[in-house]
Amino acid sequence: MNRRHFLCSMAAGAGAALAQTRRPNFLVIVTDDHGIGDVGCFGASDARTPNFDRLAASGIRFTQWYANAPICSASRAAIMTGKYPDRAGVQGALPSQPTWDVQGLRAGETTLPASLRALGYRTAAFGKWHLGSIAHSRPMAQGFDEFFGWYSGWLDAYSHRYYQLGGPPGKIFHDLWRNETEVFEEPTYMTELLGREARAFLERQSRQQPFFLYLAFGAPHYSLMAPKKYLDRFPASMERDRRTHLAMVAAIDDVVGSLLDDLDRLGIERETVVFYQSDNGATREERASSYGKPATGGSNGKFRGYKQGLFDGGMHVPAILRAPGFAPSGVVENRPMMSMDLLPTFLAMSDAHAQPPRGIDGQSILPVLRGDRQPHEFMFWSFNQSRAVRQGDWKLIINPPQFPNESVEKGVWLSNLEADPSERKNLANSEPERVRKLMERIRAWEQYVEIPAAALIE
């Protein structure tokens, strides 16, 4: 047993003792369009993220954490349900409509908050929902006791209104709610507003009841807006969109720092599991640019591709876990894991005897961290007519994405991620048997999740 596995085993034993005396609290932080190249502890030298870095120093920094989709709604559905999003009935990005009738999560879905509430947790969702606005898809119908946020894909950071960018017919509407009541908070900057609500939630919790707080920021997704006090942390000579993007990240980082301080001040730091991830990688969408050109503000580091694509840049995201009593501190975890693993992991932390809901696809990562079990043998993704599978270091993409100045061969793309993490070299022609076997896996998975087989685009 190496030192790392020894530490994990010791942590697991401590975790069992903690779980017997008090269920841990959970604080889950999700950012939006936040690339792995936008966080200091993941190697971004131009970012200012001392609190994300502080969280990583006191927990586990995952270098191969994957969102289940390269786009928001589907990615968040996996966090909520522990399933591949296709099986949860959520594909791609749901529309934003002022009619409040968008179908998202299904009625009766077994979600993470509902599972924890059944174990006695107080549950709250603050921020971006984007998992349906029809009554049965809303947060309080899916296991949350409290909701403060919006249903749409994004909001103006000051007016809290959604507006359609681009062609007709165009629409604009206000979308901010407390539980089921519309509220007006303009012109408060949304990131700071969410911080206010999250801190107030922590203040009013009783030590007698554990909580689950899901804090889903709308930043650094467009609208590309940041107050001057955050912009001033970066040189005026920095490229405009990069400067604004990093200023938005800095605002989030300040909120994270205030919450970490509050956990310590309230005496519940050792009783609270904190997890952070982005919903997908940074984007190239023109509407995220100040210049009407493909966006350049966010960075996916060394990983190729962006949001809405199945190269790793689309869903290989920053992620950090601090779990006192369950996992060691200051560790870097290099094995691949997925956001659908959160539901069974949190249930295992809250009750060592709890059984995960039937039919989920995620697995608890606690045995993986102890070295008792390997991560997923196969990991799958879908987006429009693209499909991808990863087995070990090998990854196959059907219909690889095409981005501005990133034209690639059509058909299939095979990479060895250990040798080529940036997926620059297509090995499909030199590995025909591997391609065949991975294609078979994708076809079987498409049947399993009940989506049409993607036709190869030549």
DSSP string for residues in 116-135: HHHTT-EEEEEEE--S--SG
Q: Confirm if 25 and 350 have CB atoms less than 8 A apart.
A: no
Domain boundary at 338, 370, 402, which? 370
Distance CA 377, CA 381 (A): 14
**Domain end marker among 333, 351, 370:** 370
Whether residue 356 sits in one domain with residue 328: yes
| pLDDT tens track, the chain, 458 positions | 333 443 444 444 444 444 446 899 999 999 999 999 999 999 999 999 999 999 999 999 999 999 999 999 999 999 999 999 999 999 999 999 999 999 999 999 999 999 999 999 999 999 999 999 999 999 999 999 999 999 999 999 999 999 986 667 779 999 999 999 999 999 999 999 999 999 999 999 999 999 999 999 999 999 999 999 999 999 999 999 999 999 999 999 999 999 999 999 999 999 999 999 999 999 999 999 999 999 999 999 999 999 999 999 999 999 999 999 999 999 999 999 999 999 999 999 999 888 889 999 999 999 998 888 888 999 999 999 999 999 999 999 999 999 988 888 889 999 999 999 999 999 999 999 999 999 999 999 999 999 999 999 87
Q: Are residues 364 and 422 in the same domain?
A: no
Catalytic: 130?
yes
SS3 of 192, please?
helix
Report yes or no on 296 lying in a domain: yes
Is residue 156 in a domain? yes
Q: Which of 8, 34, 72, 316 is catalytic?
A: 72
Number of domains in the chain: 2
- Shared-domain flag, residues 105 and 213: yes
Q: Is 72 a catalytic residue?
A: yes
The answer to the question of residue 361 being in a domain is yes
393: domain CATH number is 3.30.1120.10
Within 368-445, strands assigned E span 378-383, 386-391, 394-398, 412-416
The domain that holds 251 is classified in CATH as 3.40.720.10
From 8, 34, 41, 130, the catalytic residue: 130
| Residues 14, 83 within the same domain | yes
413 and 316 share one domain:
no
In a domain, 458, yes or no: no
Q: For residue 346, is it within any domain?
A: yes
Domain range for 54: 3-370
